[in-house]
Chain A
Amino acid sequence: MSEVATHHHDDHHGAHATGIMRWLTTTNHKDIGTLYLLFSLVMFFIGGTMAMIIRLELFQPGLQFVDPQFYNSMVTMHALIMIFGAVMPAWTGFANWMIPMMIGAPDMALPRLNNWSFWILPFAFTMLLSTLFMPGGAPAGGWTMYPPLVLQTGDAFPFLIFAVHFMGASSIAGAINVVATVFNMRAPGMTLMKLPLFVWTWIITGFLLIASIPVLAGAVTMLLTDKFFGTAFFSAAGGGDPVMFQHIFWFFGHPEVYILILPAFGIVSAIIPTFARKPLFGYSSMVYATGAIAFLSFIVWAHHMFTVGMPLAGELFFMYTTVLIAVPTGVKVFNWVATMWQSSMTFETPMLFALGFVILFTIGGFSGLMLGVTPVDFQYHDTYFVVAHFHYVLVTGAVFALMAGAYFWMPKWTGHMYNETLAKWHFWLSVISVNVLFFPQHFLGLAGMPRRIPDYAVQFADFNMVSSIGGLGYGISQILFVIIVVKCIRGGEKATDEVWEGAQGLEWTLSSPPPYHSFTEAPDPESITGGHR
């Protein structure tokens, strides 16, 4: 493929700012992608520290280290930071780095807007984190912000609401940019059904963001007016209904779940064919399955609130639609497995994380099916079973795919190979400790341990201790990742353009690291082989 390498170092867009101003004012998709990824990494560790505090408190029954109010703040902030600060910006970082290179574009469609969508985030999270030091403490009513509880938040309350508005604006701007880039900036010959699946899953994620984040903005605006301006949206005494908030919130919240996971599907769909040295099985069914999941995500929201007292017809409708999601998701898992069937696989770190994803995400999917069945959910609701479920899909799902993607493309980004031995250690330590951390939580939940409490009955002590040990192990293992990333940025074996033997796609035709502007000339249409090769 090297004969179609199209990079030109005669950078005709002129010089760009240097030093700190380069990063503050940049309009370059790679710079912005790097900023997103580094921001996400910082947030991952801040949110992770909060998780460590949670697991420390739960190591033994009784109140040991933190008071219950602060414990609840940790639970709330951990969720907000991991969802809006770590995983979502990480996906936007990947999108920024990879999408222009994957579709043969010079940059993102709206470069200044792109800078803005990143530079909102440090300010939004400064607002959110500053609430830790306010009278009344940080928000402690859960990331779902259910009224009336959330209305009891102290001075933190308007900061929470405005921080959500602010990061929502960032997400919408980022999503609009991705959608405009993919639909307007594709190189000649890059037809929609030749797009790499990461691009496909990201466009659909973009639609989900544009359609769902404004609904969250509306919901939190209603909370704000209920608290400060005397409205009665969520007050039954005024003719409203606190349950109405849950409906509006989860109309956003369920698509949000797929916002966090769809790009992961795309990354795994890029990695498995590479290391299996075989085209992806069922490319077009992957595209349609992603679309089907996105569509269904808008009509399943009330499965988060089966126990709230809905009419029977509602319970049944939302149960059937929820369980229906297993069909397109099953198509995906089948396709990944079928891609590996009779292939010549090797097990470099990206592949290990991708395989970990397929197996462990599927476990999280199955517990999701259990929770989706209404009568069963009546027992599991608000127990540790739910906590185990969503950590399987978000940590061993989304975060494992992030790790897989980071190792997969790090040689392309930095021009150096990462340290494979250390990376394998990172994988094995992570995969073992994360299961020690979250698997016992299934049993705790089935035995009836409620979530969001700092103390628990003594019969839950053993599994909690095991879980906390796993948590500490998982937390420490991630420091390895930082070491590997720093080493890889600073040096290492020179990466080739193609990096991986089985790698296919336009990003591998550029040099490693790629030139500042990706495709200043459109790539040769002959070099575009398509997602199904």
Chain B
Amino acid sequence: MSKSNITYSNADYYVPDSSRWPLIASVSIFAMFVGGATLLNGANIGPYVLSAGFILFVYMLFGWFGDVIAESEAGTYNGQVDVSFRMGMAWFIFSEVMFFAAFFGALYYARMYSIPWLGGAGSGGATNEFLWPEFASAWPLFNTPDSYGFTQFKEVIGAWGVPFWNTLILLTSGVTCTWAHWGLKIGSRKHLIAGLSVTVILGIIFVAMQAEEYRHAYHALGLTLNSGIYGATFFLLTGFHGFHVTMGTIMLATILARCIKGHFTHENHFGFEACAWYWHFVDVVWIGLFIFVYWV
């Protein structure tokens, strides 16, 4: 990064005086957690607290990002502040990668160890013989060791149907996102807005197709969250990914709105880049999902 060779004066580093947004963020998330927890415990008040927290959270997002955007547009941030933002976003994405790693780890562990051991492999002979002698190791695991309490299913979502088209959609959206970035760099607003619009639309199509796939799984295949370890890993991995695509789409739509308003210059547009990084991250996670959840 050539920017790091420039030395900045400490006096120019923007330190905001004070801000009420972090506190509001904490209060809103606290309300969402407390509302969600009481909802799970079956209390009637849960949904109201949860909704109030969510509304406050959205208000906070507008306020906090609004402040940052206003400061950015006013030219408050020098190159060193920009680097802080870059590092912050990069490490945040890395933490997200590790979050997905936990679920991929669960998938690999189930496939490589727990299911074969339940089927009697390795040192699992006694487990198999005494607990579930009928159980045979398999993947996808259509029949769980104990059928009580779990939904058995007949078929899984094949890789070469919707998931294949979704892969193409997401990869294409990565290209259009980069194409929009190129438009921003050469100073062509039209080109930028067109590229971003296509990216957002592709993101929406992806999420819609994923929702349709879930509907199909639940209603036609009987594959649910409750379908043993296959259903658990399938829905949590693809579900958290779908949630991240939704977030990414909202982020890119926000950036699109800002581009239409005339924000960003060809050399100063970290907000755009941060969302683009995030978009490529969900793209890469999807490749992992396509290979390990749907394909092999």
A interface, CB within 8 angstroms of B? 12-17, 21-22, 24-28, 104-107, 109-113, 115-116, 119-120, 122-123, 126-127, 155, 158-159, 161-163, 165-166, 169, 172, 175-177, 179-181, 183-185, 187-188, 210-215, 217-219, 221-222, 225-226, 228-233, 236-241, 243-244, 247-248, 251, 309, 311, 517, 519-522
Contact = CB atoms under 8 A, between A and B. Distances in A.
Interface stretch (B87-95, B173-181, B185-193, B245-253): B87-95
Given A184-B83, A237-B150, A106 B33 contact: no
B109 interface: yes
B20 A25 contact: yes
Interface stretch (B140-148, B262-270, B271-279): B140-148
A74 to B, nearest CB: 22
Interface stretch (B24-32, B154-162, B195-203, B206-214): B24-32
Interface string B88-108: 100110111011111101100
Contacts of B92: 172, 176
A26 B10 contact: no
Given A155-B41, A215-B102, A112 B84 contact: no
Contacts of A232: 144, 150, 226, 228-229, 231-232
A522 B8 CA distance: 9
**Interchain residue pairs A-B with the least CB separation, the first 6:** A218-B102, A116-B22, A241-B114, A231-B232, A237-B146, A230-B226
B26 A116 contact: yes
Contact of B33 (A166, A185, A231): A166
A236 B114 contact: yes
B2 interface: no
Contacts of B110: 233, 239-241, 244
A13 B94 contact: no
A166 B232 contact: no
A311 B150 CA distance: 29
A236 B131 contact: yes
B123 A248 contact: no
29 contacts: A25-B20, A105-B13, A110-B84, A120-B29, A123-B29, A123-B30, A127-B30, A184-B80, A185-B84, A215-B105, A218-B101, A219-B102, A222-B102, A222-B106, A230-B224, A232-B226, A232-B232, A233-B106, A233-B233, A236-B131, A237-B148, A239-B110, A239-B118, A239-B145, A240-B106, A241-B113, A244-B110, A251-B105, A311-B123
A171 B136 CA distance: 43
Contacts of A166: 29-30, 33
Interface of B (DSSP majority class) = helix
Interface in B41-72: 41, 64
Given A21-B18, A119-B23, A239-B141, A172 B95 contact: yes
Which of B34, B87, B141, B225 has its CB near the most chain A CB atoms (within 10 A)?
B87
Contacts of B94: 210-211
B183 interface: no
A28 B15 CA distance: 8
Contacts, number: 250
Given A241-B113, A241-B114, A244-B109, A112 B19 contact: yes
A115 B102 CA distance: 28
A12 B11 CA distance: 8
Nearest to A15: B17
A509 to B, nearest CB: 14
B230 interface: yes
Which of B19, B141, B148 has its CB near the most chain A CB atoms (within 10 A)?
B19
B75 interface: no
B141 to A, nearest CB: 5
A24 B98 contact: no
A27 B30 CA distance: 21
A159 B123 contact: no
Contact of B99 (A127, A158, A217, A233): A217
B145 A107 contact: no
B10 A520 contact: yes
Contacts of B15: 13, 27-28, 106-107, 111, 517
B109 A311 contact: no
Contact of A231 (B21, B109, B141, B231): B231
